Structure 1
Amino acid sequence: MSERTEAQQRPDAEIPVVGRRQPCPCGSGKRYKACHGASGGQSKIKVTRPFEGIAAECELVALREFVPSATAVLPRTSGEREIELATVLPMAAAALVRTDGKAFVGLQVQTKSGDISRDLARAVEWAETAEPGNSLSAIGPEDAPEGTVPNRLQDLMDTEAQLDVRIHEDFSWWMPEGVEASGEVAMSLERANAAIMPTRKLETEGVHAAYWVDATDRAHLRWVRPEPEEKLISAMARLSARGELALDEDSRYAGSFRAHGLLVPVWDLDREKHHREWEEPAAALGQRLDEALASLDEQGLDAAERRARDGLRGRQITIR
């Protein structure tokens, strides 16, 4: 990776302030006054891995990208109001406070900057003080008070805590108990419920951020992995060369996609099996992956494993 690319991917707080006529330290080639020294300039950097440094990084990526209806209490280090992270909110809102005072911040929203961590932090800050019955359409770091460096999600939460993800059958949790949706919210609720694909989180020791998804014609396992991409692909190639990359005889490795700096391998599964039937095979696969990852430090890939790695690379796509 070039020095310029590394600089452009730094969090904004790492870009030092220089003279307005000097080249911007981000490596854009522009003068500081026309880049990060400009109003709202800090929103221009594209942060490839916005949740880095958070223990629940993989779960955040899953909730942001493909889990349809789920919530999880944001582990806070301060703040009086409990805030729940949510996959989708009515009308794709960035945040809302229900009429009963319960606050939510949406993850599957259109961002206003190159760093979703900053956008989410501003939504959390809004939700801390918003009056019940209000919602926020969108917010970004440029909304921070002038002269301040906007917070990131990492600044507002316990980064060592895991998320207790709760999967919902539908989006009825949008409304307080006993309250019926009406108007645009009712229409949004109907559309959201119609689009849900049944999803379950695999709950077994050693398996994190792995989700079974029923896509009607087939089922999938989508597993967000925390390892560096190249090392993970090499470990998977080692298993593939041995014929050990599938979960069992009723599954096959389909490919992987990149999201927010992490790799998400995907397996096609026998749809007739209950999602809990995949927990033990997933745990066994996870153990095989851990062993393959550890073995890479002692032994590089052989010719067959390198060919397998090339094949796996050809089945990758980037979505964010």
Structure 2
Amino acid sequence: MDVVSDAIAAVRAGEPSSNRLRVSGTWCVRLSPYEGAGFHVVLRGACRLLPDGGGDPVDLGPGDVVLLPHGAGHVLADRTATAAEARRAVPFERVRDTGAGGPRTGPDVELLCGKYRLDRSRAHPLMAELPQVVHLPHRVGGQPELAAALDLLARELDERRPGGCLALPSLLDLLLVYMIRAWMARARTGAWPAVLTDPVTTAALRALHSDPAAPWTADRLAAEAGVSRATLARRFTTLVGRPPMAYLTWWRLTLAAIRLRDSDAPLATVARETGYGSPYALSHAFSREFGITPGRYRERGGSGVRAS
């Protein structure tokens, strides 16, 4: 596994959902904050997104994609909408199935609006670093795979062919990967786009994520990255924000939490898969990190624990 795949897999929970929104004329709908990530794809027409909290409006055109990775509340409206008008927005749930809109004074607008269910209790720092609103304009070049995924998604929605119940959620999952890739390619700030372009840090992360249960030491990891132990420690800590072995401990416990939440594997199996020599060793480290024993964590379905 690579870091981006692992970062997404660590927080994904359940299947994504989506709805079409068809409106025309003067319209304004509100989407409440959500414990996950939201996205919109403009299939036809143009509209405006107004984030909660007074953020700058984002004008969207045909083919544009917008990701709200932290589930921020926002308003979608016609391109003339103002912040004052947004306060009178109709709840999205009342509009999505009816196609309601005001007088037909402008072109029809069609959007694909969806949500990804996320478990934020152990969010990877890459995911936590994403901005509140990620706007990916259609006119921006260099992301042909995103355009291809959108084309496949539109075809699947339009034609409703056999197997669509499997194809659609898979394409939505693929869309999430491509949106995050596109953000990383365009990002001018943030640590993780820089982390994953640094060859030394990337080599170390790839090794840790490929085999987290291996008996890693600082010397062995430095050899894997092709540098001295001091060089790896300096570059890794500067970019990632914690030393390599501290990151490994955090990631092993994150993987253990996912296994406890999503499977009924015995604690001994979870310990072996995450690099701990015994269930006791895992339980001790897990309790120190989470403030709860692995057994209680599993009983609660992975909820009610502190995040770090």
Q: Under a length normalisation based on structure 1, what TM-score does the superposition of the two structures give?
A: 0.27
Say which structure is richer in helix.
2
